[in-house]
Amino acid sequence: MELNPRFKVILLPDVHEYLATLTEKARNKIISNVRKATLVIDPELFKKLGDTEIWEFRTRFNGMTYRPLAFWDENQKSIVIATHGFTKKTQKTPPNEIKQA
């Protein structure tokens, strides 16, 4: 049985650049989790950041926490645009990363 994606993800150039800095295994895990997030509702994979309009794709792999940040397209509600990614080093998402998104 094949599941239909709930939304489409567009990765902006900054996300591609971020992914290119990671190991192949970490990159593949992030891409796999982004794909899974389009198929199922799971806050461990895709979660809204507090009271903002920013969402994060969540991946934990080999003790590291990876976070591509994204937002819903205002014109097409079935599209999520990932703006950039970062490796999370603290419990809270840094304000400068939220501002960049």
pTM, 2 dp: 0.86
For domain 8-83, the CATH superfamily is RelE-like (3.30.2310.20)
pLDDT of residue 88: 85
pLDDT value of residue 2: 67
Residues comprising the chain, all counted: 101
Query: Where do the domains of the chain lie?
Result: 8-83
Collapsed DSSP state (helix, strand, coil) of residue 72: strand
Distance CA 11, CA 85 (A): 10
pLDDT (tens digit, 0 to 9) for every residue of the chain, 101 residues total?
567 899 999 999 999 999 999 999 999 999 999 999 999 999 999 999 999 999 999 999 999 999 999 999 999 989 999 999 999 886 777 677 777 76
Using left for φ > 0, alpha for ψ between -120 and 50, and beta otherwise, residue 16 falls in alpha
